[in-house]
Structure 1
Amino acid sequence: MVLMSHMSRLVGVSAAAVLLLAACGSSPASDQPAPHVVAAFYPLEWAASSVLGEHGSVTTLTTPGAEAHDLELTPQQIASLADADLVVYLSGFQPAVDDAIEQSGAERVLDAATVVDLLPVAEEHVHGAEEEEHTADDGHDHGEFDPHFWQDPTRMAALVEELGAQLAEIDPEHAGDYSAGTAESVSALGVLDTELAAGLDECARREFITTHAAFHYLANRYELTEIGISGVSPDDEPSPARIKEIQDEASAHGVTTIFFETLTSDAVATSIAEDLGLETAVLDPLEGITDQSPGTDYPSIMRANLSALSTANDCS
């Protein structure tokens, strides 16, 4: 009896050991830490978050309320790039980020400029059918290409698809989830594109005036004409001659509204509007997001922009 009892205990211990080893052998993949993505500014943050879903995390280098063009990084932010599983940025848009990536030794970097088809910086008028009209001198600090590609949802979709592929390589255990997140986001961007196309199809006028020429891609996609008071950088100050030209353009095209943005002063827009008896309204370039933004995320702000343009241009 004693021998049988002893043997039973040995069998029980052996079985438990086998089960423990089997469990350990099947679990190493689950020990992999969730991926961490660092995004240079808000639209890139939104794109990465839409793919990640419940897995991993995204931080942005451009804090809410900061002007993306003028970003300066802390030593801690620069150091964080080396620890990220993926850094997403747009070369030429934020020189501080370009420099930080070189300094940090970040291992995996995705430059949106290598994924998205960027348009050349346009001349003062941004016509949908005339995107080839440009000079290198118009680019200011951004070079010859306009960085504001996220104003076109189809270009955002291209970035989302690349992010999905990269995250699946970084974290293959959740590749299926990233594929699903990518598909859902691309579908939502397709719906947004359809809404914008329909909402801006039939309008009394196709010209719109903005303080910051950040809507070239929107104008190009939906066959509008953007008339920018300043250039692609909001820091560009319009000359008195340029302001006179804007006043003449507004009168010639029957423009009803001068658009300004949430992150910079509306003084120029207000002055021109008052001189001509026009309205002012927000058209958000979506370089950042704040409590004053006309929406809570990329899609809702794009839809707010659609509403603002539709109202100003008497679209039906």
Structure 2
Amino acid sequence: MRSPLRRAALLAASSLALVATAACGSGEDAGADDGVRAVASTDVYGDVVAAIGGDRVEVTSVLDDPSADPHSFEANTRTQLAVSRADLVVANGGGYDDFMQTLVAADGSGAVVLDAVEVSGLDAEAEGFNEHVWYDLAAMDALAEEVVTALGEIDPAGAGDYEANGAQFRAGLQELIAAGEQARATTQGAGVAVTEPVPGHLLDALGAEDLTPAEFAEAVEEGGDVSPAVLQETLDLIGSGQVRALVYNDQTSGPETERLLEAARAAGVDVVPVTETLPEGQDYLSWMRGNLDAVVAALSA
């Protein structure tokens, strides 16, 4: 939810938002004495790069704070400096983290830039496009392949390491994709409601039917007001018996989402929390495995 509280939290934390998520390695062929540097828009993409880059790549994630809103993020000089020194920049794209485009355009350093939406072949202009593509496992597989290629070109001496790490990471993704395909037999057509469209790609892969009134999810995501009529329509949906689960963004809250959570619990509807950034102590693969298992369990009940 794009609330004033979240915006205030972001501004207060922006000076601390730049966090390294992997150690710097040797990177002898990277064109810099101190190794390969990568900058990712969020810690989700930072973790993907770190998994592939290993100790040869220093990864900086611009946003790793649950309260940070990429739509309203304002970069500071530290962020610009990190981008100016980067060999590789990874962003979500599709309008989610436009601040990265601004930083790259202002820098002009010639870093390799990977846009997850573009790499995956998704159409950001398509009606109903969901920008939260890190919940699309096939899109992340395509991105991982490009990260392997880019790092190998930046640092030829480490190409073998990147290929091995990338193969391991992508094997993990393929296991998750296969698990989702297998689960689809029990989740196909299952009704679901969401507080925001964050998990949309995962739900689509499982064949779930999102019955949430579009006006509700859009208003919550954009921090707008939910009209009483739309709120009541959504509450009625929760109590109607049409949905097996309410999947909600655990990193945002507000009166409307709290009403939905209360209604779901009262109606005996399973409640499944998801997040936009990595929970503490998890990597991308373990995080997505947990999300997949939780959603499948709820929709298969």
- Which TM bucket (shorter chain)? 0.7 to 0.9
Q: Is the 8 A contact 2:136 2:201 kept in 1?
A: yes
The amino acid of 1:77's aligned partner reads T
Counterpart CA distance in 2 for 1:119 and 1:268 is: 31
Secondary structure of 2:56's match?
A: coil
**Deviation, structure 1 residue 312:** 2.6
The amino acid of 2:277's aligned partner reads G
The amino acid of 1:167's aligned partner reads L
Counterpart CA distance in 2 for 1:219 and 1:55 is: 35
Deviations 1:45-84 (A, max 9, x none): 1221121022111110103322334322222111221111
Aligned position for 1:95: 98
1:113 aligns with 2:87: no
Structure 1 gap ranges (5+): 1-27, 122-131, 136-144
Aligned position for 2:38: 37
Counterpart CA distance in 1 for 2:64 and 2:262 is: 33
Aligned position for 1:171: 155
Counterpart CA distance in 2 for 1:237 and 1:195 is: 38
Secondary structure of 1:201's match?
A: helix
Aligned position for 1:230: 217
Q: Between 61-70 and 72-81, report the one with greater CA deviation.
A: 61-70
Deviations 1:244-272 (A, max 9, x none): 22233334453254332222115423313
Aligned position for 1:281: 271
Aligned position for 2:228: 240
Q: Is the 8 A contact 2:270 2:298 kept in 1?
A: no
Secondary structure of 2:185's match?
A: coil
Q: Is the 8 A contact 2:35 2:56 kept in 1?
A: yes
Counterpart CA distance in 2 for 1:116 and 1:184 is: 19
Change (3 A) 1:104 1:282: farther
Counterpart CA distance in 2 for 1:173 and 1:209 is: 49
Q: Is the 8 A contact 1:260 1:266 kept in 2?
A: no
Aligned position for 1:191: 175
- Bigger radius of gyration, 1 or 2? 1
Q: Between 200-209 and 153-162, report the one with greater CA deviation.
A: 200-209
Change (3 A) 1:304 1:147: same
Number of residue pairs matched by the alignment: 264
- Identity over aligned pairs, percent: 25
Aligned position for 2:61: 60
Q: Is the 8 A contact 1:213 1:226 kept in 2?
A: no
Change (3 A) 1:119 1:222: farther
1:160 aligns with 2:144: yes
Q: Is the 8 A contact 1:230 1:236 kept in 2?
A: no
Q: Is the 8 A contact 1:42 1:288 kept in 2?
A: yes
The amino acid of 2:96's aligned partner reads F
The amino acid of 1:173's aligned partner reads A
Alignment of 1:117-156 (within 5 A): 117-118=121-122, 134=127, 145-156=129-140
**Deviation, structure 1 residue 101:** 1.9
Secondary structure of 1:68's match?
A: coil
Q: Is the 8 A contact 2:193 2:211 kept in 1?
A: yes
- Structure-1-length-normalised TM-score: 0.74
Counterpart CA distance in 2 for 1:289 and 1:249 is: 30
Q: Is the 8 A contact 2:198 2:249 kept in 1?
A: no
Q: Is the 8 A contact 1:41 1:60 kept in 2?
A: yes
Counterpart CA distance in 2 for 1:183 and 1:227 is: 37
**Deviation, structure 1 residue 29:** 5.3
Counterpart CA distance in 1 for 2:90 and 2:162 is: 16
Deviations 1:197-218 (A, max 9, x none): 3234314961211111122211
Aligned position for 2:193: 209
**Deviation, structure 1 residue 309:** 1.7
Q: Is the 8 A contact 2:261 2:271 kept in 1?
A: no
Change (3 A) 1:204 1:76: closer
Secondary structure of 1:305's match?
A: helix
Deviations 1:278-305 (A, max 9, x none): 35634314x21244xxx71222222222
- Please, what is the CA RMSD of the aligned residues? 2.7
Aligned position for 2:298: 312
Structure 2 gap ranges (5+): 1-27
**Match among 61, 83, 86 for residue 84 of structure 1:** 86
1:270 aligns with 2:262: no
Change (3 A) 1:236 1:219: farther
